[in-house]
């Protein structure tokens, strides 16, 4: 019996996981991403928390994500409270799905909804979609249906395993002892903490209810305890996190403990004064689901007016201290707790790559100014930002490799591939900017200076490269295909400017118009600027490939087609940038 029960539990947990991961994959993390944007008041937070948890079938997963978002300073503690309240409501969805097995009617449509009929049909449809479906969307939908089927198969197995217990006086005596509220709460909390899923422990209780031995008096304290036991996962996830992240886990625990205590006092007070008629009657799956939902909805309504007090309570329990948490580190948003939601983790990676690009752009502008007028303090700031860029590249690369591949859609996999390429390009732009600073430092130490004409030329080509970086950033941030297609024409103009200016500077050196000490920094600066524009062009092509679909665009073929004038508007854009930049230096006195 124990083996059958554990086997059924294994199938139940796997089905629930498969159902949740399929829904997560189908949504592409969009549900979780809304948590960042639409939680400016507690009511929206409750609604979103319920929706997200109902979709991914796990309040623990939602709460762990929220702990990660708070640790990354994306959500504030007060915003997190509403989501946690909603998560407690959303987790009751599984129990209501499982209650379908209690349906009994001669009506044809109701018979179809009965899991003994529906689960096999759904399973057949699901496996066909997984095996035959060509599009990833259909395969994912098939996984969801299979998860639903396996969930109920596990439930049926657990029910079959415990059915002999209906005749066991020892089992009846055991559950009679659980009508003691303290023992019932402890058992419910303990079982849930072990399997780390209140939905699963509620499912076990629903399976046991099929024996007809479990009464309302024994089920109620167990259900209340199960809501406390589910807090173990976010508590473990908060270890090593920031103070506010720990407070978020404490909110979840406090919310459920206080709610349980209030419910126990109210229910047992009423029972002692005016006994409930159903108190010693058997409870069924529907009764368990209804009480589970009633408890979580009532506790949420009870706490809504006191969100501020709950926030103050956990701040008092976990007081503020000045720690390394307060360091402003862009990589803090890459929290490992968010890896449970691949879509959300990828979005944070995208944001971090964009921040990398903006830092690289800022360093580039500052580096070009260093060539005009060297400033030691500014050079140190540039190096500090470059250190941040390097840390981000290292952290991003490792973080993206940790994202679970089995839960990724084709689109998400393509996004990770594009991000890995693009972050490398931004990092190289940062490296070349540091090279420009080093050239400026060498000139400062030797006392060398560029001639006014050389300085004008560097400034002009620097403006062209700066525009290329802006376009690379813009097309990446907005996924703007039209903007991405304008980078290569500008890059080609920068190539021509470099060749022209290099030849012109050699002539100035021969004619004695420029010193030898300034010649090397000038030529090398031109080379760095041209390479930066190359990296901008690479970003543009990666974005074109990503937006259109990786199979449609070959990097080298596309560049060759551009230079051959086979891509629309290339020649027009090339002429425009030639007039804007190249003609400036061509018309200037050599």
Over residues 51-99, the pLDDT tens digits come to 888 877 678 778 888 888 888 777 888 888 989 999 999 988 888 888 8
Residues 300 and 369 in one domain: no
Which of 393, 415, 447 is the C-terminal boundary of a domain?
Answer: 447
Any domain includes 384: yes
- For residue 296, being part of any structural domain is answered with yes
Nearest to 344 by CA among 66, 58, 11: 66
Burial of 525 (0-12, 13-18, 19+ CB in 10 A): buried
Check whether residue 156 and residue 11 sit in a common domain: yes
Measured in whole angstroms, how far is the alpha carbon of residue 398 from the centre of its chain? Answer: 15
Paired tokens of 120? 């096999």
DSSP reduced 3-state for 32: helix
CA distance 205 to 92: 13
* Contact yes or no for 145/185 (Cβ under 8 A): no
- State the CATH number of the domain containing residue 501: 1.20.58.220
Going from the C-alpha of 209 to that of each of 3, 59, 91, 190, 260, the distances in angstroms are 19, 23, 19, 19, 22
Q: Kindly state whether residues 214 and 346 are assigned to the same domain.
A: no
Which structural domain, as residue segments, surrounds residue 565? 450-590
Residues 504 and 408 in one domain: no
Tokens of 371: 């060539």
The tens-digit pLDDT sequence of the chain (590 residues) is 678 778 887 887 788 777 767 766 666 656 556 665 655 678 888 988 888 888 776 787 788 888 888 887 778 888 889 899 999 999 888 888 888 766 665 555 655 666 667 778 888 898 998 888 777 778 888 888 888 788 778 877 776 776 676 566 766 677 667 778 898 899 999 988 888 778 888 888 888 888 888 889 989 999 999 999 988 888 888 887 788 889 999 999 999 999 999 999 999 999 999 988 998 899 998 999 999 999 999 999 999 988 889 889 999 888 876 444 444 566 677 888 888 788 888 888 999 999 999 999 999 999 999 998 999 999 999 999 999 999 999 999 999 988 887 767 778 888 999 999 999 999 999 999 999 999 999 888 888 888 888 889 999 999 999 999 999 999 999 999 889 989 999 999 999 999 999 888 888 777 777 777 778 888 999 999 999 999 999 999 999 888 887 555 565 666 666 666 555 577 888 889 999 898 888 776 55
Q: What is the pTM of this model?
A: 0.72
473 domain-assigned? yes
Residue 569 domain-assigned (yes or no): yes
Same domain, 442 and 476: no
50 inside domain: yes
296 and 405 inside one domain: no
Same domain, 551 and 562: yes
**Under a CB-based contact definition with an 8 Å cutoff, are residues 30 and 63 in contact?**
no
**Residue where one domain finishes, among candidates 447, 472, 506:** 447
- Integer Cα distance of 41 and 63 in angstroms: 18
SS3 282: strand
Claim to verify: residue 262 and residue 307 sit in the same structural domain: yes
Q: Is residue 378 part of a domain?
A: yes
Residue 268 and residue 137 share a domain: yes
CA distance 223 to 292: 7
Query: What is the spatial distance between Cα 208 and Cα 189, in angstroms, rounded to a whole number?
Result: 17
Give buried/exposed letters for 489-515 (b at 16+ CB in 10 A, else e).
bbbbbbebbbebbeebbeebbeeeebb
Q: Are 231 and 344 found together in one domain?
A: no
Q: Are residues 34 and 113 located together in one domain of the fold?
A: yes
Number of domains in the chain: 3
Final residue belonging to a domain, choices 392, 416, 447:
447
Query: In this structure, is residue 323 part of a structural domain?
Result: no
Find out whether 35 and 75 touch, Cβ atoms under 8 Å.
Answer: yes
Question: Would you say residue 174 lies in a domain?
Answer: yes
Residues 147 and 262 in one domain: yes
pLDDT tens, 389-432?
A: 999 999 999 999 888 877 677 788 889 999 999 999 999 999 99
- Residue 136 burial (CB count, 10 A): 16
């Amino acid at each position: 019996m124990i083996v059958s029960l554990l086997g059924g539990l294994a199938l139940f947990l796997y089905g629930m996981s498969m159902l949740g991961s399929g829904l997560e994959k189908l949504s592409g993390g969009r549900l979780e991403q809304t948590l960042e944007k639409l939680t400016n008041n507690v009511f929206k937070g409750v609604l979103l928390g319920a929706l997200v948890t109902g979709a991914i079938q796990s309040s623990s997963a939602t709460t762990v994500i929220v702990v990660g978002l708070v640790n990354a300073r994306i959500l504030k503690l007060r915003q997190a409270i509403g989501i946690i309240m909603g998560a407690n409501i959303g987790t009751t969805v599984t129990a209501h799905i499982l209650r379908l097995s209690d349906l009994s009617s001669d009506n044809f449509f109701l018979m179809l909804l009965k899991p003994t009929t529906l689960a096999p049909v759904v399973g057949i449809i699901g496996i066909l979609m997984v095996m035959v479906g060509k599009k990833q969307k259909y395969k994912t939908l098939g996984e969801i249906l299979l998860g639903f089927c396996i969930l109920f198969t596990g439930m049926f197995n657990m029910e079959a395993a415990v059915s002999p217990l209906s005749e066991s006086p020892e089992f009846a005596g055991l559950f009679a002892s659980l009508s003691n509220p303290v023992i019932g709460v402890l058992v419910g909390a303990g079982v849930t903490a072990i399997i780390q899923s209140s939905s699963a422990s509620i499912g076990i209780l629903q399976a046991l209810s099929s024996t007809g031995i479990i009464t309302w008096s024994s089920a109620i304290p167990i259900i209340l305890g199960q809501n406390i036991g589910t807090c173990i996962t976010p508590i473990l996830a908060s270890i090593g996190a920031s103070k506010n992240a720990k407070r978020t886990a404490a909110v979840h625990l406090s919310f459920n403990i206080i709610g349980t205590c209030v419910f126990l006092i109210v229910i047992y007070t009423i029972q002692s004064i005016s006994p409930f008629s159903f108190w010693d009657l058997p409870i069924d799956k529907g009764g368990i689901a209804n009480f589970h939902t009633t408890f979580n909805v009532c506790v949420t309504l009870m706490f809504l007016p006191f969100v501020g007090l709950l926030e103050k309570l956990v701040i008092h329990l976990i007081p503020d201290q000045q720690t390394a948490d307060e360091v402003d580190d862009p990589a803090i948003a890459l929290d490992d707790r968010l890896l449970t939601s691949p879509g959300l983790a990828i979005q944070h990676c995208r944001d971090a790559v964009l921040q990398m690009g903006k830092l690289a752009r800022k360093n580039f502008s500052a580096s070009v100014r260093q060539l005009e007028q060297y400033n030691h303090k500014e050079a140190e700031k540039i190096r500090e930002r470059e250190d941040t860029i390097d840390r981000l590249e290292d952290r991003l690369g490792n973080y993206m490799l940790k994202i679970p591949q089995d839960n990724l859609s084709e689109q998400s996999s393509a996004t990770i591939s594009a991000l890995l390429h693009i972050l490398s390009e931004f990092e190289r732009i940062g490296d070349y900017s540091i090279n420009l600073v080093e050239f400026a430092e060498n000139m400062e130490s030797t006392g060398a200076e560029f001639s006014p004409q050389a300085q004008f030329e560097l400034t002009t080509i620097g403006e062209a490269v700066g525009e290329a970086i802006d376009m690379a950033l813009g097309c990446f941030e907005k996924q703007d295909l039209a903007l991405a297609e304008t980078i290569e024409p500008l890059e080609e103009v920068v190539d021509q400017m470099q060749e022209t200016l290099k030849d012109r500077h050699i002539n100035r050196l021969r004619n004695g118009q420029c010193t030898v000490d300034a010649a090397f920094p000038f030529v090398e600066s031109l080379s760095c600027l041209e390479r930066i524009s190359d990296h901008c062009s690479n970003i543009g092509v990666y974005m074109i490939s990503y937006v259109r679909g990786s199979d449609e665009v070959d990097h080298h073929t596309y560049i060759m087609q551009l230079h051959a004038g086979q891509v629309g508007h290339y020649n027009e854009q090339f002429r425009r940038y030639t007039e804007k930049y190249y003609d400036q230096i061509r018309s200037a006195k050599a």
